Amino acid sequence: MTGIPALRVSVIIPVYNEEATVEELIRRVSGVPLNSEIIAVNDASSDRSGEILDRLQAAGLVHVVRHHPVNRGKGAALRTGIAAAGGEVIVVQDADLEYDPGDLPRLLRPIIDGKADAVYGSRFLGGEHRVLYFWHSIGNGLLTLLSNMLTDLNLTDMETCYKMVRAPLMKSLVLTSERFGFEPEVTARLAQAGARIWEMPISYAGRTYAEGKKIGWRDGVAAILHILRHNLFPPRQAASTSPGGR
């Protein structure tokens, strides 16, 4: 994959009570052949996640660690990470081992080739995946459908964690969501900015609730409201940077 090491990728990891998986996840990200910086944001975890992140930073495995004094939500943690990012490309990486960092170099290819401003890793395009909840897949499909109707995109997985975006574009987007509203909000903002978006298949090893999965039906209901709000009432200030950062 010639050319990938020259492009610096900021991998932003929001962390909330993930002491069981965060170290393994960061070691996996570190092992991926990318020119990357790892930015971890501890969203006021009540377990040992913050302590683990500080130790990994001291060992050189994490480049930047930010600690929120109070729990603010995934969206807020990602905004903190985006502000700290120094790479040319930004990608979100959950800390729970559901997404395989080994997919990241492939997701980067359309950006390197100059074809895309943003790449979504889709769980529903044929990649390997763990078989889990039927109603979760139905809910994801309905949320993606509603989002597509309002953005005029044809995504298969709007709610995916893996969203890789050129850094100048990502930093120019007006983002306000505190919790899981980040996914529909950033999708709406990218569509409003006229970004060139690609989708690529990824593998997915979802967790059960017993294993620590946090998102529930209330978040699904909230996502509907976020989709409507961010598409029907865009911010008055448009993105100040063109989609490709050109």
Residue 245 belongs to some domain of the structure: no
pLDDT of residue 117: 98
Q: What are the tens digits of pLDDT across the range 6-62?
A: 799 999 999 999 999 999 999 999 999 999 999 999 999 999 999 999 999 999 999
Express as a percent the part of the chain with pLDDT over 90: 75
Beta strands in the chain (DSSP E): 8-15, 35-42, 64-67, 89-92, 118-122, 163-166, 197-201
> Whole domain around residue 104: which residue ranges?
4-232
Residues written for the chain: 246
215's tokens:
């998102």
Does residue 242 belong to any structural domain of this protein?
no
Q: How confident is the model at residue 221 (pLDDT cuts 50, 70, 90)?
A: confident
Residue 61 domain-assigned?
yes
Mean pLDDT over 85-92 rounds to 98
- Give me the pLDDT at residue 141, please: 87
Helix (H, G, I), strand (E, B) or coil at 142: helix
Residue 37 lies in a domain: yes
Residue 70 lies in a domain: yes
Q: What is the pLDDT of residues 179-211, one digit of tens each?
A: 889 999 999 999 999 999 999 999 988 645 454
Residue 110 lies in a domain: yes
The pLDDT tens digits of the residues spanning 115-138 come to: 999 999 999 987 565 545 565 678
Domain CATH for 64: 3.90.550.10
Report whether pLDDT(214) > 60: no
pLDDT of residue 241: 46
- Given a cut of 80, whether residue 245 has pLDDT beyond it is no
CA torsion 3→242→166→139, rounded to 10°? -130
Tell me whether residue 121 is in a domain. yes
**Residue whose C-alpha is closest to residue 120's, from 92, 100, 79:** 92
Residue 77 lies in a domain: yes
232-246 burial code (b ≥16 CB/10 A, e <16): eeeeeeebebebebe
The total of structural domains in the chain comes to 1
